[in-house]
A and B are shown apart, each in its own frame.
Chain A
């Protein structure tokens, strides 16, 4: 895996943390997944590899369709504002990514660039969930983490199990579908997909 490709994936992930509009964030996450599909097809040598790449592509397209449908069905008069400014969000995410890269030793993937990209994308996913109030952005944070894990599966020496890769894609679709049901219901109940409204349960 080239350094340029790793930086492209990381750049797309970091952009999700700072952009305001949900549709742009969906496009960024989908582009990232499609880059991973390109990488999977480039490295594919066996029938199993092509099936895994196909599943990754189907997952990317299906999630994009689901999220864009959600955006269309839950139009907001103005975007939900995050708790912290975009610059601070990016700073927190980069700091977390650097810490994770420092804490986690060599993973054992085929290139160090891939390992750093995986850890950075996991950090960006967690940072997105922690710093964005919009429900759709929180789902996208989870998809970011799953994209990172898809990258790690592609860069495993000897490859990952096809059954596990298909299972992960299926599970992510299920979770996204349930999250979509919740997003729509939260929007209907509170007039916005804003997790700030979900803070009544405390002890």
Chain B
């Protein structure tokens, strides 16, 4: 077994073991144990990520495991967001008494499901074949649905139920596409579904299979028009879980769609395969933008921003030019940092201003400057306000569209992004500096949030610098080649 394979095994097994330990531990030890296991979980994943990003020309590709540049990037994102979500969870649990399970099992269920979700999320980018990737994506549904409905409130039950049913049904459709592919690849069995073997598909139904696969995965990624569960689940889940859903789950499943496109492009035609992704991207952007102009509850606004950003990433991988893929790499990482920070801010926000759970809030910086500043950093970065790395990544993706010979799609992207920016900029001003109301003095977890915000600002600035350095590097070459 190579060192990379060992690190990959550790990256998945450590959080799985932590989930089991947390579930078995005495109640008083659950939270300390969960916090103690967070760093040991993140370290092997980050080490794996560093090992591949330092040598992107040398991916490990097998039937079960693939460690390449795109996978390395996603593993790093999942590791960082998972770590921050565990650290942010005690404040949520302390401020929210309601739960789907009895009080005695509340922490155990929460952290057990959170670690199980984290473990499966770390495995998704490393899956060496489409069948295994599907199984892992389906497994994320069970753990995360339980977390979405964790508060047990009627609205959370509604969101969790919608999420469970719609994504399970979507993944059923995706599995039908996988069966079609398995029937057309010589050899049969598990090897037929490896990313490399899919390029040898010889049946008649490749395009139908690809469309079924992408339509099914779209339901999980939250691409319009099959995104109905996304705003509900993101807004009703506990904030640390919302962060994992938006910043880690959506791009991890998107990577499966990306790998599928790269594997099937030689069979159905590169242009056709990419056009499907561009269509999903443009529709998602067009559906998201009007909601970014509205005054929505904080987490709901962030959810529609997720729809917008998943659309932008789809456009980037659809354009598939070196500039666009450099933009995609920065966009995935920067979106994760900024979006997770925004969701973590929801925990103190809802205590400080209880109406925030269901309504838009204004003037938070006037009553709680640290909280308002954190929300401002998150929303400013997500809107693409310079020097946000998301500004640089969006410029790269639009430029990449022109580079790929897709001027109309690139122009439409630029227009929709500009409209989205204006909507979010308006919300940014209102949320932070608008008219303030009388509010509760408390804002629990603000110290933890401030620490996470400090780290996030450093990461965002580093990513803004990376956006300048990344185009033309070996990492981008590796992203263009993919794992096939």
Contact = CB atoms under 8 A, between A and B. Distances in A.
A64 B100 CA distance: 24
Contacts, number: 147
Nearest to A189: B154
Given A105-B204, A177-B142, A129 B155 contact: no
A192 B38 CA distance: 40
Interface stretch (A7-15, A32-40, A89-97, A153-161): A153-161
B149 A185 contact: yes
B205 A107 contact: yes
Interface of B: 100, 131-132, 135, 138-139, 141-142, 145-146, 149, 152, 154-155, 157-162, 164-165, 168-169, 172-173, 175-176, 179-180, 182-184, 187-190, 193, 203-205, 208, 212, 231-232, 235-236, 291, 294, 296, 300
For the complex of A and B, the 10 pairs showing the least CB-CB separation, nearest first, are: A158-B188, A108-B183, A161-B190, A145-B172, A174-B142, A198-B158, A167-B135, A171-B138, A164-B131, A152-B179
Contact of A201 (B145, B182, B236): B236
A108 B184 contact: yes
A63 to B, nearest CB: 14
Contacts of A148: 176
Contacts of A185: 100, 149, 152, 157
Contacts of B160: 182
Main secondary structure of the interface of B (DSSP, over half): helix
Contact of A159 (B161, B189, B212): B189
Given A108-B180, A181-B146, A149 B188 contact: no
A107 B212 CA distance: 12
Interface of A: 103-109, 118, 122, 125-126, 129, 135, 138-139, 141-142, 145-146, 148-149, 152-153, 156-161, 163-164, 167-168, 171, 174-175, 177-179, 181-182, 185-186, 189-190, 195, 197-201, 203
26 contacts: A104-B180, A105-B208, A106-B203, A118-B179, A129-B169, A135-B161, A146-B172, A148-B176, A149-B176, A149-B179, A152-B179, A156-B179, A156-B183, A157-B188, A158-B188, A163-B131, A175-B142, A175-B145, A175-B168, A178-B145, A178-B146, A189-B154, A198-B162, A200-B154, A201-B162, A201-B232
A182 to B, nearest CB: 5
A149 B267 CA distance: 24
A145 B212 CA distance: 14
B220 to A, nearest CB: 13
Given A135-B161, A175-B164, A178-B142, A107 B183 contact: yes
Contacts of B180: 104, 107-108
Contacts of A139: 165
Contact of A198 (B161, B173, B204): B161
Contact of A171 (B139, B161, B184, B188): B139
Given A156-B179, A164-B131, A175-B142, A201 B158 contact: yes
A139 B131 CA distance: 23
B100 A181 contact: yes
A164 B139 CA distance: 13
A129 B135 CA distance: 22
A152 B177 CA distance: 11
Contacts of A129: 165, 169
Contacts of B141: 175, 178
A148 B188 CA distance: 19
Contacts of B145: 175, 178, 182
A10 to B, nearest CB: 16
Contacts of B149: 182, 185
Contact of B169 (A125, A159, A181, A197): A125
Point out which of A139, A177, A195, A203 has the most chain B C-beta atoms below 10 A from its C-beta: A203
Contacts of B300: 203
B52 to A, nearest CB: 25
A104 B208 contact: yes
A186 B161 contact: yes
B131 A182 contact: no
A55 to B, nearest CB: 14
A164 B146 contact: no
Contacts of A182: 145, 149, 157, 160-161, 164
Given A141-B169, A167-B135, 9 more contacts: A107-B205, A158-B188, A158-B189, A164-B135, A164-B190, A178-B164, A201-B162, A201-B232, A203-B296
A172 B171 CA distance: 11
B291 A203 contact: yes
A105 B294 CA distance: 44
Nearest to B232: A201
Contacts of A104: 180, 205, 208, 212
A156 B203 contact: no
A104 B139 CA distance: 28
Contacts of A103: 208
Given A109-B183, A158-B187, A200 B131 contact: no
B133 to A, nearest CB: 11
Contacts of B296: 203
B142 A201 contact: no
A143 B208 CA distance: 23
B208 A203 contact: no
Point out which of B139, B155, B179 has the most chain A C-beta atoms below 10 A from its C-beta: B179
Contacts of B164: 175, 178-179, 182
B428 to A, nearest CB: 19
B172 A106 contact: no
Nearest to B233: A201
A159 B183 CA distance: 9
Contacts of A167: 131-132, 135
A185 B138 CA distance: 22
